[in-house]
């Protein structure tokens, strides 16, 4: 077992306070958008046997320490187990993050495994370096993901039904609304939605900033009692304030708004357009950083790639309910093999209990103080500490009062 220090990702959309305050630290001077726990080459966690290591530390420079990627590379079968190595190669299959959007993330989609492999090979052949901002496929892996809300968490996920899109646009008397309504009314199916979405985000047909502003002004002026969707109107106004003139603001009206309460979870498979809006959550995904963007971003937008891999079939957001598998452990079972998330809630400090799981896993203590037995070894972990448990470390038992997050590959 090793203690982990997560790697801070200071993307501009991140909160300066949400993640530091979770671990009783002062607000950061820069955004702390994400805190990564894993072995992804872009930001592998630092590992140490020192029990004083914290999961969050503002000083990210630890050149004297080994990374989790290096630890696994030195003994892939011992760290991951023969079955994981056979399925995924000598790499940790999942990536655990804390994510804290303070403003909307980019409107984006993630590829399937086949699409990721094709996209990676194409960019490699084109000589696009890993550091090039045009790069959409830095690795060959798919990126299904799930977010577990720690606070109220808002998102846009997947396309509404054509009928509902027409309803949301009802009463908006401007050129964009009329164009989108005409396209979808002529083809009230996924093809019509794709055509409308393509027209909104493609360079040759996207609306001008003043057209976007006109639509948003009409959303803002509608009374709640007259609006088909006050929530969609308010969100468009909010996003326009951050990304003025961006056609992604209009596209938000085509998407399903989602609000998660603390303890609820949302799964997003490949091909689903989405954007996280605000909140604090635990995010777990296949070990990938492949992102294709459509808008609401200052980064590279690749419309052709996005349209190629986007699924425009109307579908409700996939909320995953946890299954209680023991008195202390609840597990979210997702329809992929790369990861599984469990929440361990401990209430009785004098009771030692088994934690179900196998193979390599990461355990993060969100609150409290817990005694942890791993095989024959004994450790304390407190709020703000994370550990990596190797496949050959043995069974895990805990005792204490607090809440833990465990991620593993089933």
**Binding site for Zn(2+): what residues are annotated?**
108, 110, 145, 274
Nearest to 391, CA basis, from 55, 72, 45: 72
Maximum alpha-carbon separation in the chain? 70
Nearest to 405, CA basis, from 322, 343, 335: 343
Marked catalytic residue, from 21, 293, 347, 356: 293
Residues 125, 332: Cα–Cα separation, whole Å: 39
Which residues does the annotation place in the binding site? 108, 110, 145, 274
Check if 293 is active-site. yes
Strand partners, 9: 34
**DSSP β-ladder status, 145-149 and 265-268:** antiparallel
CA of 359: how far to CAs of 35, 292, 338, in Å? 23, 31, 12
Indicate the Cα dihedral angle 19, 23, 28, 31, nearest 10°: -10
List, by residue number, the catalytic residues: 293
């Amino acid at each position: 077992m090793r203690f982990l220090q997560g790697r801070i990702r200071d993307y501009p959309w991140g909160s300066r306070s949400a993640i530091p305050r979770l671990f009783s630290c002062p607000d950061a001077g820069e955004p702390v958008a994400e805190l990564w726990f894993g072995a992804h080459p872009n930001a592998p966690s630092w590992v140490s046997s020192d029990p004083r290591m914290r999961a969050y530390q503002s000083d990210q420079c630890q050149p004297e320490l080994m990374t989790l990627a290096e630890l696994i590379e030195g003994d892939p079968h011992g760290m991951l187990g023969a079955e994981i190595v056979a399925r995924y190669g000598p790499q940790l299959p999942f990536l655990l993050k804390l994510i804290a959007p303070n403003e909307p993330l980019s409107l984006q989609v993630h590829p399937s495994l086949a699409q990721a492999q094709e996209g990676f090979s194409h960019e490699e052949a084109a000589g696009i370096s890993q550091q090039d901002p045009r790069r959409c496929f830095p690795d060959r892996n798919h990126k299904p993901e799930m977010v577990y809300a720690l606070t109220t968490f808002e998102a846009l996920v997947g396309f509404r039904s054509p009928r509902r899109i027409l309803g949301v646009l009802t009463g908006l008397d401007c050129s964009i609304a009329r164009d989108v309504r005409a396209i979808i009314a002529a083809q009230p199916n996924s093809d019509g939605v794709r055509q409308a979405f393509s027209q909104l985000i493609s360079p040759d047909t996207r609306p001008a900033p003043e057209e976007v502003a006109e639509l948003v002004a009409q959303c803002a002026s509608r009374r709640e009692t007259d609006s088909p969707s006050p929530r969609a109107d308010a969100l468009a106004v909010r996003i326009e304030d951050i990304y003025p003139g961006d056609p992604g603001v209009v596209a938000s009206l085509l998407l399903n708004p989602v609000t998660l309460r603390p303890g609820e979870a949302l799964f997003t498979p490949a091909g689903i357009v989405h954007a996280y809006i605000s909140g604090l959550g635990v995010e777990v995904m296949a070990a990938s950083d492949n992102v294709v963007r459509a808008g609401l971003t200052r980064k590279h937008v690749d419309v052709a790639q996005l349209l190629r891999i986007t699924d425009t079939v109307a579908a409700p957001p996939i909320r995953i309910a946890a299954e209680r598998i023991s008195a202390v452990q609840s597990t979210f079972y997702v329809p992929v093999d790369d990861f599984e998330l469990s929440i361990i809630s401990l209430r009785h400090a004098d009771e030692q209990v088994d934690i179900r799981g196998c193979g390599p896993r990461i355990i993060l203590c969100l609150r409290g103080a817990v005694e942890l037995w791993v095989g024959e070894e004994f450790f304390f972990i407190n709020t703000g500490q994370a550990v990596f448990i190797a496949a050959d470390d043995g069974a895990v038992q805990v005792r204490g009062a607090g809440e833990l997050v465990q991620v593993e590959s089933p």
